[in-house]
Structure 1
Amino acid sequence: MERTIDIDRERARVAREAGALARPRIWTDTIGALATTAWRAVSSAAPDAPLVLLGAAASAAGAPAIGPVRSEPAAIAGAQRLVRRGGPAYIKLGQFVASADGILPPAWVQAFAWCRDDAPRLDTRIVRDVIARELGEDALAVVEEEALAAGSIGQVHRAWLPDGTPVVVKVRRPGLRRRLRSDIGALALAAAGAERMSEDVAALNLPGFVELFAQLTLEELDFRLEAHNLVQSAAIYRDCGLDFVQVPRPIDGLVTSRVLVMEHVAGVPYDRAGEELDADVDGERLLQLAIGGVLTSTLLHGVFHGDLHAGNVLVRHDGTFALVDFGICGRLSEEQRAALGAYLMGFAAGDAAAQIHALRRFGAIPADADADALVAELGAELERLGHRADGAVTFERLGDTVGRQLAILSRNGFRMPKGLVLFFKNLLYLSSFAAAIAPQADLFSTIERALGDLDAEHAARLGAALAA
């Protein structure tokens, strides 16, 4: 068993490591990674595939979709071949692309949807060997042969404890840390070189994206951090009265940096809920609960699930949720929570000045940016978009609205901090969620109803956060 760790210190160490990896440098492993990446790209008949993929992933995180982000079938196909041949770092980039519904063209999002839960499978014998080395031969009585899901970082199987308790075990891919470090170093060099060659590419701030990518990826490598996220999130949901959200509990003594055993939770991914659940499950109520849960946990506690795609949000037959895969969590300071609350109020009101002021408070807009010009440009775009169509703002239009705003802000020096990237990703995931279960729901009226369902104490705390 591994010793316990100081969670805050470990997160700070990961952030430092990510910053170091994102700085261009030449090391033996980096040269090797660049060589193999070039070979994969050339063998895929797409020499620019690494830059195309990196540009698309950066655009998914808020950079303007210009320069190397192209929608020609050949460009997408070349990038997809690179992801399939390139290994975990490239699958992780594909996950960024798959999360950008509304920001990137649909052809990009659809081409990389498989990266979320259907990465190449590990042989089950390897999975069992890792479990035995980390936990001991007798820690689990049975590990099911077929994987429940396979991602860029780990693979998940159903299993049973010796006493017959059903659990889920997540196993990190062997050799992953070294492989990811070398590939991130190669991406940093490629990003820095491309930035010097083109003003359009420089506008994407690819080096900044590589650092964000490195931090998110390295945090996911240590399953002890994920176990802490599970425990902390469950406590937050209890404190907020969100009893309609279930989070799997880590099993004491069966958590290491490479293996995480947790209780099994049942449910159907939300994109299949309409087909597999009872007809009396109320889609609009589920949407209201989902919005209330996201806003309440984020604004009251500053901690939220950072990757709410369909495979991680399970709808249960009783009309409640189970959330899984807490490898990525967003964390906001008190000041950031207040700024985010102000931004949401400005977003709901279509108030460009309020949004720009809030984003500056958040630290996303440089102090020397021309705020008046930015407000004018954003205001014109908001007016052109026409937020309310027939008195409603549907989630179907949310992705387009957010994407256009991010492109404008990026052109003016907007660089989203990690917490804001993850929160905006969740807004886009809510758009997909609504399209699956309540496509005609009105965005702002649904938010208002969700907040109205809070008890008096939490409503007052949330109102204070929004008014700060």
Structure 2
Amino acid sequence: MKLYRPHLLKHSLNVANRIRQTASVAGLSALRVAKGEKPDAYLLKETFEQLGTTYIKIGQFIASTPSLFPREYVEAFQGFLDQTTPLPYSYIAQVLREELAVDGLTLEERFADIEEQPLASASIAQVHVARLHNGDEVVLKVQKPGVETIMQTDLGVLHGVTKLLELLMPSMKFASIAPIIDEIRLRMLAETDFIAEAKNIRDFQQFLSVSGNTRVVAPTVYDELTTKRVLTMSRLHGVSMIDERAMRQYCNDPAQVMADTLNTWFASLMLCNSFHADLHAGNLMLLTDGRIGFLDFGIVGKLKAQSWRACMGMMQALQDNNYRAMAQCMIDMEMTKGENHVDVSSLAADLQRMMQTIMAEDIAFTSGVPFNTKEQADELNKMMLEIVEVGKRHGIHFPRDFALLTKQLLYFDRFMRTLAPDMDMFSDHRVAMLGRPDSISE
């Protein structure tokens, strides 16, 4: 037992230091409020930024979930979806040595060259370009030092943070903070296991192979150079899919690229072991050879095919004003604790009353114009909140991964406004919502 005491002592000191740091930052923010500064979204953003990894992830969740959080907070945290401040390479090199300089081989024997300037930096990991001795160009996704200890410690004190969130966000009348924190905790811990992420990539590649999809590609994993804290993959070259001008260098029709992306993702809901749940602007690119690159499989979800069909049925029923069918689809989606516990007629009547109230108040729902503007998108989010509230009264709850699916649809909405503003995801003939592989153009 004595052999483990130095390690335990170091861990305990790290935990104590993290708690002290958290208390210090939170105390300074509280002091600013006491001196008269408004406790708004931007003060909370500054506080989270100073607190680092865990809180940046929470900020990303807020920024990407407008159906749960007020608009001012969603907008304030948008910057968290971009890159974070990188660590000096010396910290990254230490992790690489600990993970890969094993079996008698040095880091120099593993790699011919590693670029010290990072290609990207996120809250949990940093990405560096490297070259193997056989000439292969690869990228190294390296977990930042101390991330796991920091996250575990932070997650242990988040009960106090939920109180702070409730104080600073009184307009969150429909959101229950505790389940959100639980969801974030599960996702964050999963993101620290790069072995699991490597498996997610292989699952997706198998799906592409089985479905005959040659339009989309994911990086190749180098298993012998991959551990829980280091993921080594082939490097893909391309441009961001929110830069239409850059895309036109490698494709003739950005809208068709968007349709192919959507069709691949929808097909993965039905045919893959998991679906990519984090395809924001940094994780999706048009490659220089014209193919579409899906990157970073750290966050994935799982949704039964029956649930996805029911989801699409609910959307169609909503469009048709068929509230009984909408209610039945909510039950079929396994959003309830038991089909026998829900009165379909009563649920349908509540949904109808809700929609009639919304349509009477909001011209966006009666104008016949697709939801392409920010204001109309906000109205759509408001409607989703109302549906959640009605569902709660009938014992209905969304599946855990349904929030991930909804978030990804919102990401796609952002892409479509840039690449295909006239495309309607739910009715365009180029988009197969139920995921037919043959809908992807060759």
Aligned partner of 2:426 in structure 1 is 444
Moved more, 93-102 or 308-317: 93-102
1:405 maps to 2:383: yes
Give the CA deviation at 1:143. Answer: 1.3
- Summarize the alignment of residues 357-376 of structure 1 with structure 2, pairs less than 5 Å apart: 357-365=328-336, 371-376=347-352
CA contact (8 A) 1:143 1:160 kept: yes
Give the CA deviation at 1:217. Answer: 0.6
- Summarize the alignment of residues 407-426 of structure 1 with structure 2, pairs less than 5 Å apart: 407-412=385-390, 413=392, 415-426=397-408
Q: Kindly provide the CA deviation profile for residues 30-66 of structure 1, in whole angstroms up to 9, marking residues without a partner as x.
A: 88766543431331357789xxxxxxxxxxxxxxxxx
Look up the equivalent residue of 2:381 and give its one-letter code. Answer: G
Give the CA deviation at 1:387. Answer: 4.9
1:326 maps to 2:297: yes
1:434 maps to 2:399: no
Aligned partner of 1:88 in structure 2 is 53
Secondary structure of the structure 2 residue equivalent to 1:249: coil
Secondary structure of the structure 2 residue equivalent to 1:114: helix
Cα 1:186–1:341 change in 2 (3 A) is same
Match among 230, 243, 252 for residue 201 of structure 2: 230
Match among 167, 175, 188 for residue 217 of structure 1: 188
CA contact (8 A) 2:426 2:433 kept: no
Cα 1:304–1:236 change in 2 (3 A) is same
Look up the equivalent residue of 1:77 and give its one-letter code. Answer: Y
Give the CA deviation at 1:415. Answer: 4.2
Secondary structure of the structure 1 residue equivalent to 2:126: strand
Match among 331, 350, 355 for residue 379 of structure 1: 355
Distance 1:108 1:425 in 2: 16
CA contact (8 A) 1:306 1:328 kept: yes
Secondary structure of the structure 1 residue equivalent to 2:47: helix
Q: Kindly provide the CA deviation profile for residues 307-335 of structure 1, in whole angstroms up to 9, marking residues without a partner as x.
A: 11101010234543101110001111344
Aligned partner of 1:43 in structure 2 is 28
Q: Kindly provide the CA deviation profile for residues 140-164 of structure 1, in whole angstroms up to 9, marking residues without a partner as x.
A: 2211121111111111111111111
Cα 1:190–1:389 change in 2 (3 A) is same
Q: Which has the larger radius of gyration?
A: 2
Aligned partner of 1:182 in structure 2 is 153
Moved more, 383-392 or 404-413: 383-392
Aligned partner of 2:121 in structure 1 is 150
Distance 1:347 1:160 in 2: 53
Give the CA deviation at 1:93. Answer: 0.9
Cα 1:36–1:360 change in 2 (3 A) is farther
Higher RCO, 1 vs 2 (CA within 8 Å, ≥6 residues apart) = 1
Give the CA deviation at 1:290. Answer: 2.0
Aligned partner of 1:171 in structure 2 is 142
Cα 1:438–1:335 change in 2 (3 A) is closer
Distance 2:373 2:285 in 1: 20
Cα 1:450–1:182 change in 2 (3 A) is same
CA contact (8 A) 1:102 1:399 kept: no
Q: Report % sequence identity.
A: 25
CA contact (8 A) 2:125 2:141 kept: yes
Give the CA deviation at 1:139. Answer: 1.9
Q: Kindly provide the CA deviation profile for residues 403-442 of structure 1, in whole angstroms up to 9, marking residues without a partner as x.
A: 1233113334264333111110111011100111122223
- Structure 2 unaligned runs (5+)? 1-11, 102-106
Distance 1:187 1:218 in 2: 15
Secondary structure of the structure 2 residue equivalent to 1:171: strand
1:272 maps to 2:243: yes
CA contact (8 A) 1:103 1:399 kept: no
Distance 1:48 1:399 in 2: 32
Secondary structure of the structure 1 residue equivalent to 2:329: helix
Question: Scaled by the length of structure 2, what TM-score is found?
Answer: 0.80
Look up the equivalent residue of 1:113 and give its one-letter code. Answer: Q
Secondary structure of the structure 2 residue equivalent to 1:449: coil
- Summarize the alignment of residues 226-265 of structure 1 with structure 2, pairs less than 5 Å apart: 226-265=197-236
Distance 1:178 1:344 in 2: 42
Give the CA deviation at 1:192. Answer: 7.0
Give the CA deviation at 1:207. Answer: 1.0
CA contact (8 A) 1:398 1:428 kept: no
CA RMSD in angstroms, aligned pairs only: 3.6
Secondary structure of the structure 2 residue equivalent to 1:298: helix
Aligned partner of 1:296 in structure 2 is 267
Distance 2:203 2:419 in 1: 29
Q: Kindly provide the CA deviation profile for residues 118-152 of structure 1, in whole angstroms up to 9, marking residues without a partner as x.
A: 11211111112211221122222211121111111
1:135 maps to 2:100: yes
Distance 1:193 1:241 in 2: 50
- Structure 1 unaligned runs (5+)? 1-26, 50-71, 460-468
Q: Kindly provide the CA deviation profile for residues 262-296 of structure 1, in whole angstroms up to 9, marking residues without a partner as x.
A: 01111112122334642963122122112212211
Q: Kindly provide the CA deviation profile for residues 224-253 of structure 1, in whole angstroms up to 9, marking residues without a partner as x.
A: 010000010111122223321110011131
Look up the equivalent residue of 1:439 and give its one-letter code. Answer: P
- Summarize the alignment of residues 199-214 of structure 1 with structure 2, pairs less than 5 Å apart: 203-214=174-185
Cα 1:453–1:87 change in 2 (3 A) is closer
Distance 1:46 1:361 in 2: 50
CA contact (8 A) 1:312 1:323 kept: yes
Give the CA deviation at 1:458. Answer: 5.7
Secondary structure of the structure 1 residue equivalent to 2:231: strand
Distance 1:162 1:280 in 2: 33
Question: Scaled by the length of structure 1, what TM-score is found?
Answer: 0.76
